Structure 1
Amino acid sequence: MIRLERNEGLWRAIIAREAKANSLTRGMLAELADIAEAAGREGARALVLTGEGRVFSAGADLDEARAGLATDPVWERLSGAIAALPCLTVAALNGTLAGGAFGMVLACDLRIAAEGAKFFYPVMKLGFLPQPSDPRRMAALIGPARTKMILMAGQKIDATEALAWGLVDRLVAPEALEGAVAAVVADALGASAGHVAGIKRLIG
């Protein structure tokens, strides 16, 4: 249910569980973490995360969440692996982003979203704590008050507001998403892995 496409230095990991709104099982999360760790070892210059259909991911698979997935350390393993990558990482948000799926997206360098996407993380309502790194990364992007709007007030944010807040970096028509992502990874793909890593290291 995770499809990996590799072309030269570009790795694309696609969440391919459209019939279940791309909800994530433990096995899928582990596979994504494996991919991120391998991308670092094998000199990828850009890693793109995206989903099939009209939803990026609805978060944890509900059955597995009830069985303990909501608090499983695999979420932190995945977001940590993405954050540690020396290459350019891009979340191509083809649609709505919900719940624990925020972690991998917040860990990316850039977030490009399709118009019409919505963003919500209903941990207060569901009685779970967010993954430990998610509030810190979210607050670094949008500030503590807006982070509380999402995590504590349970507000659903539309794509226009997400762009204004800085939660996403660019908003495009759904049919333009692939081209927009190609444009932002083009320079990294034209450079060496060491050059990409060097610039990223300077940014911090």
Structure 2
Amino acid sequence: MIDLKQEGDLWIVTLARPDKANSLTRPMLERLVEIAESAGATRALILTGQGKVFSAGADLEEAKAGLAVSDLWERLSGALARLPALKIAALNGTLAGGANGMALACDIRIAVPGAKIFYPVMKLGYLPQPSDPARMIALIGPARAKLILMGGQKITVEEAYDYGLIDRIVPPEDLMATARALCADTLAAPAEVAAGIARMCS
């Protein structure tokens, strides 16, 4: 349910459980962590999903059984954030719950029209992943982070773009081509130059 396609120095990771809104099970999370922790030599990584939802977050039954508070979420976002590669979240639809962590850990977020972003942890009785509020605040400020995390608001992709949470809105048919185009200069540059710029922008 996690598809990894390696095209030389470009890795494309796809959440492939569209019949369940790409909700994440423990094995899926473990596989994502494994990929992120083994991608150190990768120059660019695109994270996307199948179907019309990027991810609904944790699988509901597994969340109730403890997955919602697993350290796997933080391991995943931390591993992605540490990668010197250019990381692009190509959001093919709505981004919800714990799946926000992996998108926030990416360098660039692009999304299709009609997508929504929400993170209803407080309503469900959980804390967010430890690093997620800080990453969200760095992008959109504390008030708007509280709007999402404490106000429970579903943010439209247009609002997310205005806030700075989404960097570009792209028609669905152009989503992956746009993501690949954003990776092109990094893949073509000398590795040490691209890595150096990544460090300077961190």
**CA-to-aligned-CA distance 1:5-64 (integer Å, 9 cap, x gap):** 010110001000001000001111111111111111xx2110110000100000000011
Deviation at 1:197, TM superposition (A): 1.1
Between the two proteins, the alignment pairs up a number of residues equal to: 202
- Contact 1:48 1:90 (8 Å CA) reproduced: yes
Shift of 1:193: 3.0
Specify whether residues 192 and 29 from structure 1 end up closer, same or farther in structure 2 by C-alpha distance, changes over 3 A only: farther
Please name the residue that 1:27 is paired with.
27
TM-score (norm 1): 0.97
Farther off after superposition, 24-33 or 156-165: 24-33
CA distance in 1, matches of 2:177, 2:2: 22
In 2, the alpha carbon distance for the partners of 1:69 and 1:196 equals 36
The alpha carbon displacement at 1:194 in A equals: 2.6
* Equivalent residue runs for 1:1-204 within 5 Å: 1-40=1-40, 43-204=41-202
Q: How far apart in 1 are the matches of 2:134 and 2:162?
A: 19
Measure, in 1, the Cα distance between the counterparts of 2:83 and 2:161.
24
Q: Equivalent pairs: percent with the same residue? A: 64
Assess if the C-alpha contact under 8 Å between 1:45 and 1:192 holds in 2. no
Q: Deviations over 1:100-120 (max 9, x none)?
A: 000000000000111111001
Alpha-carbon shift at residue 192 of structure 1 (Å): 3.4
